[in-house]
A and B are shown apart, each in its own frame.
Chain A
Amino acid sequence: MKRSSTRLRTQSRTARRPSQPAEARAANPHAAAQASAFIVRKAKRGDVAAVTALDERITGLAKSEHWLELYDRQKKAGQPAGIFLVAIGAEAPDQLLGFIVGEIRAWEFGSAPCGWVYALSVDPQSRQLGVGEALLEAMAGEFRDAGVAKMRTMVTRDNLLPMLFFRGEGMMAGPYVQLEKDLH
C-alpha cells in the first residue's frame, strides 16, 4: 500500500448545488440562513465536543468518552489508518455542520485493505445542501491517497435515509452479509 501524505485538501464548497431540487430548499428554510459555503477539514481535538453534541442530538445518546477516545486513538495511529473530518461553516468556523469518521482496515474477513466509513452525520438544519456528499467525497479522496481501492459502510435496513444517501453516492451492496446472534 502506498504511504499517504497526511495532507488533507481542505475543501471549500458552496452549499447549494445547481442540481438542488427546489422542494428540498423549501423544506429546509433554516438551511438557507446558514453559511452559504462550508469547508471540509481534518478534525481537531477541540471539534470533538461539537461532534458529541451533534451525535447526541441525532441519536439521543451522549457518548463523549467514545468520541474523544476515538479521536485520540486515531491520532495515535496517525493517518491513513484513521480519518476524522468535519464540515464547518466557511464564515462561521465554530459552527459544525457535519462530521465523518473512517478507517482503513486490512485483511479483515480476508478482505484486501479497504476504507470503512463508520460514522457520518449532518446537522438536520444543514441537510440536503451537499454537506454529506462533500464529507464522503473527502473521505474517498483520503482513502484513494492511501492506495485503497474500495470504500465500505454499514447501514440499518429500516432507516432508509442513510441508504438512500449512500446509494445516491454510487454505493451498492457488497459481497458480505452481516450475521448476528443474541448471546443470552
Chain B
Amino acid sequence: MKLQIASRLAIFAVLELTEHADRQMTVADIAAKYGVSTHHLAKVMHVLGRAGLVRSARGAGGGYQFCGNARRTTLLDVIEFFEPLGPGDGDGGEPGNGTSEAGALDVVLGEINDAVRATFGSITIETMRRLVERERRAPPAA
C-alpha cells in the first residue's frame, strides 16, 4: 500500500516534532532530513496547524511544535486530511456502480478498507515512536 506524499510528510513531521519536543523544528530542518521541498512540507504543516495538531511559533527562526497528545493521537488523526480513506467517494461516479459486480467488488474493497482504517486508527504517535526506536536498533539490512 502506498500513502499520499502529503500523508507521509505529515507523519514524519509529527514524529520529528514529538522527538524534538524540547526545541522548535523548522520546516527547513524537517524537509532537509526527508529530502522534500520546503514548499510542499509547509502546505502540509498548514493543514496540520488548522487541525490543531501543530502550532507555529512566531518570531525569529519560528518553527513548529506538536500540540496534541502523542499517546492519544493516532496515525489516522494525522493523515485523514490528506488520504482518501473511506468507502469510495460517494459521488456514484465509479464505473459500473449499481451493478451486482460492482456490489461484489465493494464487499472486497470494504474488507480491505476496514483493515486499513483499523490499523491507522489504532497506532498512536507514541506507539509509532517505539517502532522507530525498534528500527534504529535493528541491524541494517544486508
Residues of A within 8 A of B (CB): 21, 23, 157-158, 160, 163-164, 167-168, 170, 173
Contact = CB atoms under 8 A, between A and B. Distances in A.
Across chains A and B, which 10 residue pairs bring their CB atoms closest together, nearest first? A163-B122, A157-B118, A164-B122, A167-B122, A167-B127, A160-B122, A160-B121, A168-B127, A157-B114, A167-B123
For the complex, would chain A's binding face be called helix, strand, loop or mixed by DSSP majority?
A: helix
B65 interface: no
Greatest chain A CB density within 10 A among B115, B118, B119, B123 is at B118
Contacts of B119: 173
Contact of B71 (A21, A163, A170): A21
B130 interface: yes
Interface of B: 69, 71-72, 74, 114-115, 118-119, 121-124, 126-127, 130
A160 B71 contact: no
Contact of A23 (B69, B74, B115, B123): B69
Contacts of A158: 114, 118
B69 A168 contact: no
For the complex, would chain B's binding face be called helix, strand, loop or mixed by DSSP majority?
A: helix
B127 A21 contact: no
A42 B69 CA distance: 35
Given A21-B72, A163-B121, A164-B122, 19 more contacts: A21-B69, A21-B71, A157-B114, A157-B115, A158-B118, A160-B118, A160-B121, A160-B122, A163-B118, A163-B122, A164-B74, A164-B124, A167-B122, A167-B124, A167-B127, A168-B71, A168-B124, A168-B127, A170-B130
A168 B126 contact: yes
Contacts of A163: 118, 121-122
A168 B124 CA distance: 8
Contacts of A21: 69, 71-72
Nearest to B123: A167
A163 B117 CA distance: 12
A157 B72 CA distance: 18
Contacts of B130: 170
B66 to A, nearest CB: 14
Greatest chain A CB density within 10 A among B71, B123, B124 is at B71
